[in-house]
Amino acid sequence: MARKRRQAKVKDKWSSKKWFTLIAPEYFGLAEIGLTPADDESKVIGRTVEVTLAELLNDYSNQNPYKKFIFKVDRVAGENAYTKFYKFELMRDYLNSLTRRRTSKIEDIVDVTTTDGYKLRVKSVAFTIKRCKSSQKRAIRKIMREIVTKTGSSEKFVQFIQECILGKVPAEIYKNAKLIYPLRRVEIRKIEVLKEPKVEITTQEVAS
């Protein structure tokens, strides 16, 4: 007579996990931006979460839905997982919509260090109304670099991020570069944190 095989008990891994609420940095009002499960709070540290500017501000006007933040969990307190800024970028669909035939796309990449010690890699892009000459591209790229470098090296991290994302830096580039050749649009398309200061400095809010 054949013996009945004993069925191994399947351990329900989810029963040992709990949900942690992801919290945006204080300069985004400590908004709740999602949930993440873990059986130990140490496993939450370093996790990333993506959220659009529209979701953060509850404002879906203009280009806000196309502006994406990536935050990284920095610390856990109770059931809250607090995040810090890790990366900002424009969504690819939006950038593709700005690219047109018989026009020029001018890009620049520069590393800046803010006055409070954050080293950032900033990628800017400009779109012309028609195709321009190589010499004009170089002149526009030089203006883009000078404005980003000057602004980034003279301001604190949060202020600089605010001015890039909410349009002040792109507007300054547009105002100066359009004298070289007519532009259709200027954007800061990506910002990455390369290095943080050893001691984190209290920041002020980006948006009220």
Could you report the per-residue pLDDT of 108-124, keeping only the tens digit for each? 999 999 999 999 999 99
Q: Report how far residue 91's alpha carbon sits from residue 190's, in angstroms, rounded to the nearest whole number.
A: 10
- Give the tens place of pLDDT for each residue, 130-166: 999 999 999 999 999 999 999 999 999 999 999 999 9
Average pLDDT, the chain: 89
In a domain, residue 10? The reply is no
Predicted model pTM: 0.84
Residues, the chain, total? 208
Task: Find the mean pLDDT for residues 74-80.
Answer: 94
Residues 50, 136, single domain; the answer is: no
Going by pLDDT thresholds of 50, 70 and 90, the confidence category of residue 37 is: very high
In a domain, residue 144? The reply is yes
Supply the CATH number for residue 152's domain. Answer: 3.30.479.30
Residues 36, 74, single domain; the answer is: yes
Q: So what's the pLDDT on residue 1? A: 47
